[in-house]
Structure 1
């Protein structure tokens, strides 16, 4: 499976990036010559991980017929102190609320996402330790 991404320099450090018919802006922080008009390219990695594992878990729980009222996740990451400042630690907090939530099913879905299905996690595991926690709010 191949994919093409186009990036066009717009101004300063910013690039307009087109992928799959969607346009995104990547920029640098002001401290590094940018205008903070969009996430940094490195931040897009974490956003990609959030979307990837979130979609996986949603699909897997749907197949398990396990409904929930809400699902969100938060990613906290640490980078190496030296160039190229790769992510070295990534922690994902999965947050669910609903009635009769089955923690074992949610844990299984998360495990399948992080260890089998999510290509972003598979890519990031080469440099980062990826851990997670689960918060369940039974309503």
Structure 2
């Protein structure tokens, strides 16, 4: 499965992440005391869902040999902390309405979508 690390040092909120062999910098916006050097944690969550959605839909269309031109995924985190939800809008080019509807249905079952909808246990230990 996946593995990642995150390191924060003396610079306020700037966090260096290594995941899948890729370096990512996360930070908070200046309005929250950060430097805006990278996406904030919830931005990374949306990025993960958006990437999984786009990739899964493209893979499905390729398997079906559908003439998909592009998929755009627009994501917004909405609500309060108690009732948070993600609004996802798909823009699909190159397919007919039936194919688009099928991809919208598939979007509800992408791996990251299912993980977010079902919740995920987290075990924490000091080392």
May I ask how many residue pairs the two structures share in their alignment? 118
Equivalence for 1:69: 69
C-alpha distance in 2 between matches for 1:55 and 1:33 = 34
User: Secondary structure of 2:37's partner?
Assistant: coil
Instruction: Spell out the pairing of 1:8-19 with structure 2 (5 A cutoff).
Output: 8-10=7-9, 11-19=11-19
Note if contact 1:12-1:34 (Cα within 8 Å) is conserved in structure 2: yes
Equivalence for 1:123: 115
Note if contact 2:61-2:68 (Cα within 8 Å) is conserved in structure 1: no
1:113 and 2:107 are equivalent in the alignment: yes
Structure 2: 5+ residue runs without aligned partners? 120-127
Give the root-mean-square deviation of aligned CA atoms.
2.0
Equivalence for 1:133: none
1:89 and 2:104 are equivalent in the alignment: no
Equivalence for 1:24: 24
* Structure 1 segments of 4+ aligned residues over 3 angstroms from their partners: none
User: Secondary structure of 1:66's partner?
Assistant: coil
C-alpha distance in 1 between matches for 2:42 and 2:83 = 9
Distance 1:76 1:87, change over 3 A: farther
Instruction: Give per-residue Cα distances to partners, 1:54-90, cap 9 Å, x unaligned.
Output: 111101111111113332121122031xxxx367232
Query: Which TM-score applies when normalising by structure 2?
Result: 0.80
Equivalence for 2:123: none
Distance 1:49 1:87, change over 3 A: farther
C-alpha distance in 1 between matches for 2:92 and 2:107 = 16
Structure 1: 5+ residue runs without aligned partners? 128-139
